[in-house]
Amino acid sequence: MKNLSVIIIILYFLSSISFAQNDNGNNNTQGGENRNITQYYSGKFGFYNPGDGLNNGLIFGIDGITEFNHYNFFLSGSVDLYFKKTFDIFTNPHPSSISDQQMILLPLHINLGYKLGEIPDADTRFYAGAGGGYYLYFFGATVSGNSGGLLGGSLTNQTDNKSGGAIFGSVFFRAVVGKIFIEPRYYFAKKVTDTINGNPYIVNPTGFAITLGVQY
C-alpha cells in the first residue's frame, strides 16, 4: 500500500504539469515578450551501470519539466525504468534452486537543475543539478523444489515475488541542442536487504547512467 501511494503521488505530480502547460500556453506570451515559464516533457533512454550484482543494462525515463527562464533553473518530476533478467544480487553463491528471475527498478524523483550557460546561435544550453526521491523494486524468481514422497517425489516450480524500496539521491548534467539532449547522472541509493526462499539478497541501485533523449 505504501508503494502504491508513492506511485499515485508522482503520477499526480506529472499530470498536474500537463494541465499547467495547457494553461500557460495562453498566458505566458503577450506582444512577443519572452515567456518567464516554459513547460515541456522529455523522454530518454540509455546505459545504466548499477551496483551489487545488478548487471549493466538499458534504462528508460520520462520527465515533466517546468523551467523558470528569468531565473535560469528548472524543476522536474521524473520516472525511470530498469528491467533485467540476468543478475546476481545474492550475498551467497547463486542458489541452484532458482532457475529464472527478473528485476524491475522504478526510481521516482524530483529534480532541480540550474542553467550553467548557453550558446544562442547554436540553440545549445547546459544544465547541472541534483534530485532525490524513492525507488521501488520488484523481484521475481522461479524456485525449483521436490514434492517429496517414497519414490523421491517430482520436481516442482513455484514463483516467489518480493518488492520494496528506499530513498535515493542523484546528481546530473544535461546538455541540450535544439530538442535533443544527453544526460549523465549518478544515483546514490540506500541499500535494501531481504530474503527470497530463504536466500538473502541486496538491492543497490547506486550507479551511473548516461541517457540520450528528446524534449518537447
Q: What digits encode the pLDDT tens for the residues 194-210?
A: 999 889 999 999 999 99
Which pLDDT score, from 0 to 100, does residue 113 have? 97
State the amino acid at position 54 in one-letter form: L
pLDDT grade for 34, boundaries at 50, 70 and 90: low
Which residues make Cβ contacts (< 8 Å) with residue 210, sequence separation at least 6?
Answer: 46, 47, 182, 183, 184, 185
Question: Measuring CA to CA, how many Å separate 183 from each of 10, 20, 48, 148?
Answer: 21, 25, 12, 54
d(CA 12, CA 17): 9
pLDDT grade for 10, boundaries at 50, 70 and 90: low
> Which of 16-20, 114-118, 152-156, 189-193 is predicted with the least confidence, judged by mean pLDDT?
16-20
Which pLDDT score, from 0 to 100, does residue 156 have? 76
Share of the chain above pLDDT 70, in %: 79
Domain architecture of the chain: domains with CATH: 2-20+36-87+102-139+159-215 (2.40.160.20)
Residue linked to cell 532457475 = 99
pLDDT value at 122 more than 60: yes
Which residues lie across from 199 on neighbouring strands? 196
* Phi, psi for residue 58 in degrees, rounded to 5: -85, 145
* pTM assigned to the model: 0.80
Question: Measuring CA to CA, how many Å separate 98 from each of 30, 39, 172?
Answer: 63, 47, 37
Question: Measuring CA to CA, how many Å separate 126 from each of 16, 50, 122, 206, 211?
Answer: 26, 25, 12, 24, 15
d(CA 140, CA 156): 17
Instruction: Report the Cα 111 to chain-centroid distance in Å.
Output: 12
Task: Please name the helix (run of DSSP H) or strand (run of DSSP E) that holds residue 81, with its range, or none.
Answer: strand 73-84
pLDDT value at 77 more than 90: yes
Task: Please name the helix (run of DSSP H) or strand (run of DSSP E) that holds residue 21, with its range, or none.
Answer: helix 2-27
pLDDT value at 190 more than 70: yes
State the amino acid at position 125 in one-letter form: R
Which residues make Cβ contacts (< 8 Å) with residue 181, sequence separation at least 6?
Answer: 42, 44, 174, 175, 212, 213, 214, 215
* Phi, psi for residue 71 in degrees, rounded to 5: -110, 0
Q: What is the mean pLDDT of residues 130-158?
A: 78
Q: What is the mean pLDDT of residues 131-158?
A: 78
